[in-house]
């Protein structure tokens, strides 16, 4: 079987159970781990079966508490594929939710504004800061980074940890009192304050639910996700079509030769690819 996306050949594994879509749906619904693992693989590989699976299970989602964890900076093979990654993450979260998981953690891949796409899937956002990572504190201060629900300053034995705690507390104190995040020192390695962190996440969620804010946030998040995935697909379509279509390639070449300005080129490309009329384009 050829994996469409990666272009490599995957040998049929005779030891692996062959699932029909209906069996997979029933398996995920019943919390079967193998079914769930297979379903998530389909999502990760952008298999054509992923969509009908998620479509069928979607009405049963919305029960899990989805917690987004951000600012860890990780080296990922995801550069340039953020759209696709966000899409697969959303589907995987929905599958875990449909499988009856109580809590789903979503970790973001990088620091800064691009997190929005992934944390948009989460009900609650936990920001983990490392002492010495000054940019995050600056980004919070400047309002570039979304204020999360709970902030953990990890590595509590680091010499700069207490200073950072104070600094972050003074920044969040400037925000509205009703949604002011709790900030605490933790040490993940020694497990220090981790139960307290969990307690804060639970309390925060309970207060969101009580005030009706959880439903509101989920509605906003879902709309934002739909826009994010749609824009990302629109962009892929643009790139594919410009690569394939000699007329569009020549538009781009004229820009590169400084004969046609970039914004007129944008108009021509949008008209050709999406049939957008330039008169009502902006």
Check binding of 235 to its own copies (CB under 8 A).
yes
Site for its own copies in 76-105 (CB under 8 A): 76, 79, 82, 87, 90-91, 94
Check binding of 223 to its own copies (CB under 8 A).
yes
Check binding of 259 to its own copies (CB under 8 A).
yes
Query: Bridge partners of 121?
Result: none
Check binding of 138 to its own copies (CB under 8 A).
yes
**Inter-residue contact 129 to 161 (CB < 8 Å):** no
Which of 111, 172, 196, 214 contacts its own copies by CB under 8 A?
111
Q: How many CB atoms lie within 10 A of CB 241?
A: 15
Region from 10-18, 34-42, 142-150, 203-211 binding its own copies, contact rule CB under 8 A: 142-150
Which of 190, 230, 247, 250 contacts its own copies by CB under 8 A?
230
Check binding of 124 to its own copies (CB under 8 A).
no
Region from 28-36, 129-137, 150-158, 172-180 binding its own copies, contact rule CB under 8 A: 129-137
By the 10 Å C-beta count (0-12 exposed, 13-18 middle, 19+ buried), 174 is classed as: exposed
Site for its own copies in 22-81 (CB under 8 A): 46, 51, 54-55, 58-59, 61-62, 71, 73-76, 79
**Inter-residue contact 251 to 265 (CB < 8 Å):** yes
Query: Bridge partners of 219?
Result: none
C-alpha count within 13 angstroms, C-beta hemisphere, residue 229: 16
Single out the residue of 144, 20, 3, 4 nearest to residue 71, CA to CA: 144
Query: Bridge partners of 68?
Result: 106, 125
Check binding of 198 to its own copies (CB under 8 A).
no
């Amino acid at each position: 079987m050829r994996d469409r996306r990666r272009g490599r050949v995957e040998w049929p594994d005779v030891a692996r159970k062959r699932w029909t879509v209906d069996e997979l749906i029933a398996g995920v619904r019943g919390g079967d781990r193998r079914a769930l693992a297979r379903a998530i693989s389909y999502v990760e590989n952008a298999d054509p079966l992923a969509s009908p699976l998620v479509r069928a299970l979607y009405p049963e989602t919305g029960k899990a508490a989805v917690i987004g964890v951000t600012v860890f900076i990780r080296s990922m093979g995801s550069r340039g594929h953020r759209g696709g990654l966000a899409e697969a993450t959303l589907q995987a979260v929905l599958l875990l939710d449909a499988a009856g998981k109580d809590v789903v953690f979503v970790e973001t891949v990088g620091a800064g504004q691009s997190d929005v796409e992934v944390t948009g899937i989460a009900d609650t956002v936990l920001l983990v800061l490392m002492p010495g990572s000054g940019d995050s504190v600056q980004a919070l201060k400047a309002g570039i980074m979304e204020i999360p629900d709970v902030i953990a300053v990890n590595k509590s034995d680091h010499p700069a940890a207490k200073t950072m705690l104070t600094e972050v507390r003074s920044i969040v104190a400037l925000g509205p009192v009703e949604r002011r995040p709790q900030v605490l020192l933790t040490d993940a390695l020694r497990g220090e304050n981790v139960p307290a962190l969990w307690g804060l996440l639970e309390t925060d969620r309970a207060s969101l639910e009580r005030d009706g804010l959880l439903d509101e946030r989920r509605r906003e998040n879902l709309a934002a996700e739909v826009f994010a995935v749609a824009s990302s697909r629109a962009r892929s379509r643009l790139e594919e079509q410009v690569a394939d279509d000699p007329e569009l390639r020549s538009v781009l070449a004229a820009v590169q030769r400084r004969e046609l300005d970039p914004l007129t080129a944008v108009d021509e490309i949008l008209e050709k690819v999406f049939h957008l009329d330039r008169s009502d384009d902006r």
